[in-house]
Amino acid sequence: MHIHGGPHSAYGHIFFHEFQLLAAKGYVVVFTNPPGSTNYGQEFVIQTKEDWGGKDYRALMEATKYVNENFDFVDKDNWGGSFGGYMANWMITQTDFFKAAVSARSTCNRFSMFGTSDVGFFNGNFEQKGNPWDNPDFYLKVSPISYADKVNTPVLLIHSEEDYRCPISQAEEFFTALKWQKKDVAMVRFPKENHELSRSGQPKHRKERLSHIVSWFEKYLPVN
């Protein structure tokens, strides 16, 4: 399951090398545009307003269920996820369905994101309910780190040290919370890279990133 970030972006009809790489390694790649995506009009986009981890999460799990029930060539007991970072972290706190996960340029704490991300202050104006100091309970309710004790899925965190959209402190918070509990977690950090690592990063780093993703899935989801 490969999930785009944003959440207000979308997959389109275009060549995507990550999909092709995973498919070449023997994996079935499932990708969708869940609620919040920008391809079905404004009403569809705003379905995640004040509901991160709600309709979007349920739609993604429904897509997983659909594929499991309708395609015989899918190994129904072995699913992994290379996700949009927030949703990757959120999903493994809500379900043990996935056998492995990769979370890239992720966020885990919507409260601390408000003051550290270059667009964090937008949250109080649209995405979340008010300012974090006025409504801290809501911000933490939609933060994966609040449910770190629920994680049982092995997860690889990939992050760039100069990411100002999703500061590396977000991955560090989640890594520390999981490592403290002796969960199966690893973190790879890339120096001199930003939020665009996968798209316009240094070629050697882009190649290394893909190698880490493939290696993680091959470790926990070996292809027969």
Give residue-wise pLDDT tens across range 5-24.
Answer: 888 899 998 899 999 999 99
Mean pLDDT of 125-136: 88
pLDDT band at 83 (very low <50, low <70, confident <90, very high): low
Say if 160 falls within a structural domain: yes
- Residue 127: the pLDDT is 86
pLDDT band at 62 (very low <50, low <70, confident <90, very high): very high
Q: How many structural domains is the chain composed of?
A: 1
Catalytic residue among 82, 103, 146, 160: 82
Identify the CATH number of the domain in which residue 87 sits.
3.40.50.1820
Is 82 among the catalytic positions?
A: yes
Work out the mean pLDDT of the chain and round it to a whole number. Answer: 93
Say if 49 falls within a structural domain: no
What does the pLDDT look like over 136-167, one tens digit per residue?
Answer: 999 999 999 999 999 999 999 999 999 999 99
Amino acid at 193: E
How many CB atoms sit inside 10 A of residue 109's CB? 20
Say if 59 falls within a structural domain: no
pLDDT at 118 over 80: yes
- Residue 119: the pLDDT is 87
- Residue 129: the pLDDT is 87
pLDDT at 125 over 80: no
Say if 14 falls within a structural domain: no
Say if 95 falls within a structural domain: yes
Mean pLDDT of 70-98: 88
CA pair distance 136, 38, nearest whole angstrom: 28
Say if 6 falls within a structural domain: no
Is 2 among the catalytic positions?
A: no
CA pair distance 60, 78, nearest whole angstrom: 16
Does 112 or 120 have the greater pLDDT score?
Answer: 112
155 with 102: CB under 8 angstroms?
A: yes
pLDDT band at 31 (very low <50, low <70, confident <90, very high): very high
Which domain covers residue 179, as residue numbers? 21-28+70-220
Mean pLDDT of 175-202: 97
Q: What is the pTM of this model?
A: 0.93
Catalytic residue among 2, 4, 195, 198: 195
**Per-residue buried b or exposed e for 195-221, using 16+ beta carbons within 10 Å of the residue's own CB:** bebbeebeeebbebbeebbbebbeebb
Say if 54 falls within a structural domain: no
Mean pLDDT of 176-184: 98
CA 217, chain centre distance (Å): 15
Q: What is the enclosing helix (H) or strand (E) of 84? A: strand 80-84
pLDDT at 207 over 90: yes
For the ranges 123-127, 150-154, 168-172, which has the lowest average pLDDT?
Answer: 123-127
CA pair distance 154, 217, nearest whole angstrom: 10
Say if 96 falls within a structural domain: yes
